[in-house]
Amino acid sequence: ASEETLVLIKPDGVARGLTGQILARIEQKGYELVDIRKLTPSRDVLAQHYAEHEGKPFYEPLVEFMMSGDVVAVRVAGNRVIEGFRSLAGATEPTTAAPGTIRGDLGRDWGLKVQQNLVHGSDSPESAARELALWFD
Ligand code: CMP
């Protein structure tokens, strides 16, 4: 059934000029770009977005990284798009992400404390609803 997910193009993707390529991959897969906005997120939004990771060793570096520049937030619709976008994105680490995926083809391992892995995609219908409300309402 048709559903919606939140995709974030993270600061590494925006700074490297990969926004268009990443959006093209989403469209080529047949998903609809319903809404889009570019912003530098506040610490407050990121604390809510990453609440489940609070206390983990990569949490503070992750929030600092996400506040370091513009991100592009996209409301994406399609059949099974939550699962489908995560498949397009590939595994969390650019090094192990399969070729053919966004992270596998375009991601770089910078050897830093946090994985700068170009994109985020909601991991469940509950996360998608929560994250879309946070980034778009
Ligand atoms: P994302 O799935 O958007 O949300 C959590 C982020 O934390 C993840 O992308 C990575 O950027 C980062 N991350 C997850 N696990 C680790 C880890 N073990 N070490 C460093 N960064 C991580």
**What is the ipTM metric for this complex?**
0.91
Catalytic residue among 7, 81, 120, 135: 120
In terms of Cβ atoms closer than 10 Å to its own Cβ (0-12, 13-18, 19+), residue 73 is buried
Q: Is 88 in the pocket of ligand 1 (CB under 6 A)?
A: no
pLDDT of residue 1 exceeding 80, the answer is no
Residue 79 marked as a ligand binder: no
**CB-based contacts of 93: which residues, under 8 Å, 6+ apart?**
103, 109, 115, 117
Q: Is 103 in the pocket of ligand 1 (CB under 6 A)?
A: no
Averaged pLDDT, 122-128? 98
Domain 2-136 grouped into CATH 3.30.450.90: no
Selection from 13, 20, 27, 14 nearest residue 84 by Cα: 27
Q: Is 19 in the pocket of ligand 1 (CB under 6 A)?
A: no
Averaged pLDDT, 39-57? 98
Ligand 1 atom at shortest distance from the alpha carbon of 8: 3
Catalytic annotation present for 49: no
Q: Where are the alpha helices (DSSP H) in the chain?
A: 11-15, 19-28, 43-49, 59-66, 81-89, 102-106, 125-136
Local confidence band at 61 (pLDDT 50, 70, 90 cut-offs): very high
Per-residue DSSP letter, 30: T
pLDDT reported for residue 137:
87
The pTM score is 0.96
Report the distance separating Cα 16 and Cα 30, nearest Å. 25
Report the distance separating Cα 119 and Cα 137, nearest Å. 21
Sequence ranges of the domains in the chain: 2-136
pLDDT of residue 6 exceeding 90, the answer is yes
Q: What is the pLDDT of residues 80-115, one digit of tens each?
A: 999 999 999 999 999 999 999 999 999 999 999 999
Radius of gyration of the chain (CA): 14
Distance 115 CA to ligand 1 centre (A): 6
